[in-house]
Chains A and B, each alone.
Chain A
């Protein structure tokens, strides 16, 4: 497991490394020659993460992501895409579990939802890659989020 998360606090406890990811998110944007595109969509809030993969020989040769979500989503996306870039697909899938193990207790509930959007977009992109390899026509694979990243006030308003 890469040690990119070692000593890294999440945005609620800002450190210079997090500040750097906020100012200059890594792997942000589109990938024109992607062969796997996944979207994690929160239909309740309209927030999404779209993730692009360029997979060669079962390895993530390149990766990009974009989101209209909050800064927690951006920081997780920036760090996580660094982590799985140039790694085997199997590693990327395991990395999700490892990150949860490592950060689960340090993240707030809201941050966990944001992180989940990033990981879900990766799963969707891998599914899109698999579908395309099997000859299915699909522009992007979309997975809908079960949990929503809302403020408690917004949730109360709906009750």
Chain B
């Protein structure tokens, strides 16, 4: 096991996740999202196995999110990527589990690709940047918020997962897990909104300065300040946006951030 495999699994998680965001069909979107969550757990287990064997991993990646125009254009390369990744697995209980999960996903992709009716247009990369009922200032605020926060949620998922894999404290482990789970939900929400706007894009790669944390308390304090800033952005959006459903969504996210801050404060008590 090495970092090359970890990197490929990291990329595969993102590829499945962003395929889920890109595709409009709710049934396909939902199934692919479930598979992306399984892929994230693979990545977590693989990281733990690498550390147990005295190795290390990082979050480097080498991938692009290409502008695709149809469902099959999204699914066909995804299938190829899974097959290529499978060539890297060795023999272990973990690899058997991963291969079994991926074989099931491949079977699902084959079923989808066998039916031409599934090959619908994909608008997620069209850059149309329009949302029904939203006026121009609201749309601009929403766009900037989504770019800002989709990166931030991706960053939080990876940073907390990195620290979770390296802590001996059960309390920290549990708090990190809660924060990772919460950020997955936020990333899902924001990614789907970006796709709806036609501006779906990968969050940029994390530099090691971001996730190799030397001072946890300082990191948490900075994180609380960032949560406060995100809450402020949510409040501004909720009050300024001229769409009632979107407005209540951002109030809901704002309230969720309150509890993140409480969770993070628990880490300061350690």
Chain A positions near chain B (C-beta within 8 angstroms):
11-14, 16, 19-20, 22-25, 28-30, 39, 45-46, 48, 50, 66-68, 70-71, 74, 150-151, 153-154, 157
Contact = CB atoms under 8 A, between A and B. Distances in A.
B225 interface: yes
Nearest to B235: A153
B144 interface: yes
A105 B207 CA distance: 32
B199 A50 contact: no
Interface string B182-207: 00000000000000000101001111
B81 interface: no
A150 B140 CA distance: 21
Contact of B209 (A20, A45, A50): A50
A14 B143 contact: yes
Contacts of A153: 228-229, 232
B247 interface: no
Nearest to B159: A68
B219 A28 contact: no
Main secondary structure of the interface of B (DSSP, over half): helix
A23 B205 CA distance: 12
Contacts, number: 64
Contacts of A66: 204-205, 207, 209
A23 B204 contact: no
B222 interface: yes
Contacts of B127: 16, 19-20, 23
A30 B207 contact: yes
A125 B219 CA distance: 25
Given A19-B129, A22-B147, A71-B148, A28 B225 contact: no
Given A25-B204, A68-B155, A154-B229, A45 B222 contact: yes
Contacts of B147: 22, 71
B210 interface: yes
7 nearest CB pairs, A to B: A23-B201, A66-B207, A46-B222, A68-B210, A71-B147, A22-B147, A151-B229
Contact of A29 (B205, B228, B232): B205
